[in-house]
Chain A
């Protein structure tokens, strides 16, 4: 596959929760290695699109291609059939996700959290998985807590472990769902620093849903502004933050700035 083809291609997808239409004919493309920030008011569908890419929610209509392959469909004899569990499992290998509330396994130590999936899903021998886990924990600054249990860690530390855990499967795409929203303000920085490090040391494609506007501005190659299940405006961070064209983007940013966020 050529370097210029999008790694994620979302085509006219829709998703409803009951009568509430969260995504309404949404289309978007993401290029390999691109860093994308998804911003917008709550309920605008930005978290839902991440959850759909991770197969935590199913779509009601439309198509998604990841790395040149259909995510929710399988091609059989020229026909598109709904994906079965095996197809989904294969497609999930391309994507990792970090959650707002970390979702660590509380009954497993830090290192076991990181090694569990490689050992179970890839058959990595324990020793190799642990060696790799220590490298990842070192990268997120948590190597000295490898034996600790999650309950002994601060929120920022938990989130850094969660990032290492997702990285252990070597995904091409990383999804970050409001990864600093549940943290005390003084702990936000340590998690954002890890993201900077990932950006510098890996060539992963990264999608972030975030309310840290300053970080989104500095970090992202492109900003998508979501409202009511659609992308209302997109562009380079400077265009979106300094010179938003759409009224709804202007209104949202005004509110965010009034709330004291740095842009």
Chain B
């Protein structure tokens, strides 16, 4: 009879790594999403071109290859990264490229009349964006950001390939040590699912909080 409690401890440690990766990757993705999304809307050609190149490149290449590039090729160019750093970098940049299009679409979905009110009130471009357009656009972005965060969570499993001890990595360790495939993989399947449910709930409650007052019912 296998002593499972120790192995579940390993999987718990893996879960912590996965959560850490997801949080840090999401922060980077969010930053990249706003930089590139706003870049796409810039008046300046150079910024638009840079943002477009970033988005197309990171959407158009595989997350596996991006991760391997960050971990195995960047050191050859003089940039040594820990597995965690490489994982956060690859995940954040990859998901950020998708989320950048969410930012752009949401900002463009805010009606012309809001921009015109900003001009009539003499707000500068950035003031109007910061205080009027983005707060409204953010509400439009939120549900899709939730999807992006779940995508990112699921994509974290690829970091096991560069020996980062996340959930998937630990499940393989447990499998190798116990010879049991069913228990570790069923366990992490459930853990991934619970984590993604937590993200869904978190985003939905944030959405409800932010939408308060906009429909004229709740205040």
Contact = CB atoms under 8 A, between A and B. Distances in A.
Nearest to B136: A107
A92 B114 contact: no
Interface in A87-108: 89, 92-93, 96-97, 99, 101, 103-107
Interface residues of A, number: 27
B142 interface: no
Nearest to A148: B219
A106 B216 CA distance: 10
A120 B127 contact: yes
Interface in A68-103: 89, 92-93, 96-97, 99, 101, 103
B79 interface: no
A96 B116 CA distance: 12
Interface string A195-221: 000000000000000000000000000
A121 B122 contact: yes
B114 A97 contact: no
A169 B136 CA distance: 23
Nearest to B219: A149
B135 interface: yes
Contacts of B124: 89, 120-121
A92 B122 contact: yes
A120 B120 CA distance: 13
A258 interface: no
A107 B132 CA distance: 8
B120, B131, B132, B215, most chain A CB atoms within 10 A: B120
Given A116-B121, A149-B213, A151-B213, A99 B136 contact: no
A165 B121 contact: yes
A106 B121 contact: no
Contacts of B214: 106-107, 149, 151
Given A107-B135, A107-B214, A166 B120 contact: yes
A152 B122 contact: no
A55, A104, A106, A148, most chain B CB atoms within 10 A: A106
What class of interface size applies to chain B in its complex with A?
20 to 34
Given A56-B116, A105-B114, A120-B131, A152 B121 contact: no
B219 to A, nearest CB: 6
B203 interface: no
Contact of B216 (A103, A121, A149, A169): A149
Contacts of A166: 120-121
A92, A105, A151, A169, most chain B CB atoms within 10 A: A105
Nearest to A151: B216
A55 B119 CA distance: 8
A152 B216 contact: yes
Interface string B132-145: 10011001000000
B113 A103 contact: yes
B219 A101 contact: no
A151 B131 contact: no
B122 A103 contact: no
Nearest to A112: B131
Interface in A52-67: 54-56
B121 to A, nearest CB: 4
Contact of A99 (B116, B131, B139, B219): B116
B117 interface: yes
A148 B216 CA distance: 9
Nearest to A121: B122
A93 B120 CA distance: 9
Contacts of B131: 116, 120
A117 interface: yes
A117 B132 CA distance: 11
Interface in B168-219: 213-216, 219
A149 to B, nearest CB: 4
Given A116-B131, A116-B132, 8 more contacts: A89-B122, A92-B122, A99-B120, A103-B113, A105-B117, A149-B219, A152-B219, A169-B121
Interface of A: 54-56, 89, 92-93, 96-97, 99, 101, 103-107, 109, 116-117, 120-121, 148-149, 151-152, 165-166, 169
16 contacts: A54-B119, A89-B122, A92-B119, A92-B122, A93-B122, A99-B116, A101-B113, A104-B117, A116-B121, A116-B132, A120-B124, A148-B219, A151-B213, A152-B216, A166-B120, A169-B122
6 closest A-B pairs (Cβ-Cβ)?
A151-B216, A117-B121, A103-B117, A149-B213, A97-B120, A92-B122
